[in-house]
Amino acid sequence: MLLTIMGILGSTGVQGQVAEVLPEGGHRSTHEGVHGSTPIRVVGYGFYDYHYATDGVGGGALMADWRVSQTFSLGAGVEYASSNRIAAKLGGMATLLTTNKGQRLTLENSYLWRHYPSLDRQEFTSALQLGWRARHADLHLGLCNRYSAPLVQRSDGGMGTVLEPMNVMFAIEGWWNNQTIPQQWNVGLRWSNYHDFVIERVANWFFSAKGYYTLKDETALIAEVGVHPVGSLNLTASYDGWFMHLGAMRRF
């Protein structure tokens, strides 16, 4: 329902740079390497997370977005981790305003499902946020609700369903090159409490350095390395781990 409303809002938005979205707040957004007129874009990357309590966790993610119109896009993605975690994401982004300098105001609605078979738990998170893209910065602020439940209803007194209090989502990014126009490469810093397939409480944040390099118009290499809170099922410990993502983006 909300995605439909956003599509209507996007269709009435100011024409300009196209709206493009990938899971988790447009985290893999349009300035990251590939510009063009084709409507479908695919991102794939492998990742490695490490902290001293559980050693390393590896996995991979595959995401795609489809530009429905000049001001509205749909995105989806899946993730698998060797720690026996599976996640899936669906979202939509509408461009509400575009300035003549290429700056954009966006509204994004997303839904995240995370599955922990070994822990007999699954999570459902819905999020709504506003974004502002300037020449050298991205700002995002929104709210989300998370619902956690056992895979099978328990009768042994174990943890049942949990509806968490509403949570604030934020992201602040700074980029070296002007991101409102095509660039062959760019590097930046990101501070936030969410990533592509995980949303932490507002006090538990990620800090990372990221960048891309465009090989040609349709393909770019992407990389990110950073630190993040450590824990499971959003129960965060008092120490941090580090993570690394390496992958590629291609437009079809």
- What is the token pair recorded at 140? 């995002």
Amino acid at 176: W
- pLDDT tens string 210-220: 999 999 778 99
Q: What DSSP character marks residue 166? A: P
pLDDT at 56 over 80: no
Per-residue confidence (pLDDT) for residue 141, from 0 to 100: 97
The more confident residue out of 77 and 16 is: 77
pLDDT mean over 83-92: 90
pLDDT: which is higher, 5 or 204:
204
Greater model confidence, 203 or 45: 45
How many Å apart are CA 180 and CA 241, to the nearest integer?
33
- The model carries a pTM of 0.81
pLDDT value of residue 149? 83
Using DSSP's 3-state secondary structure scheme, residue 178 falls into coil
- CA dist., res. 49 & res. 57, Å (int): 5
In terms of Cα–Cα distance, which of 223, 204, 190 is closest to 26? 190
For tokens 């120490």, what's the residue? 239
Joined together, the tokens standing for residue 72 give 């509205």
Provide the pLDDT for residue 156: 56
User: Which residues of the chain form beta strands (DSSP E)?
Assistant: 40-51, 55-69, 72-81, 85-98, 104-116, 121-133, 137-150, 162-163, 167-175, 185-192, 194-195, 198-199, 206-216, 219-232, 235-251
Number of domains in the chain: 1
Mean predicted lDDT score pLDDT of the chain? 81
Please give the average per-residue pLDDT across 117-127, as a whole number: 86
Q: Quote the domain boundaries for residue 101.
A: 2-251
The domain spanning residue 238 has which CATH number? 2.40.160.40
Whether the Cβ atoms of residue 141 and residue 166 lie closer than 8 Å to each other: no
Examine the pLDDT at 122 and tell me if it is beyond 70: yes
Whether residue 137 has pLDDT greater than 80 = yes
> In the structure, what pLDDT confidence band is assigned to residue 38 with cuts at 50, 70 and 90?
low
3-state secondary structure of 112: strand
pLDDT at 14 > cutoff 50:
no
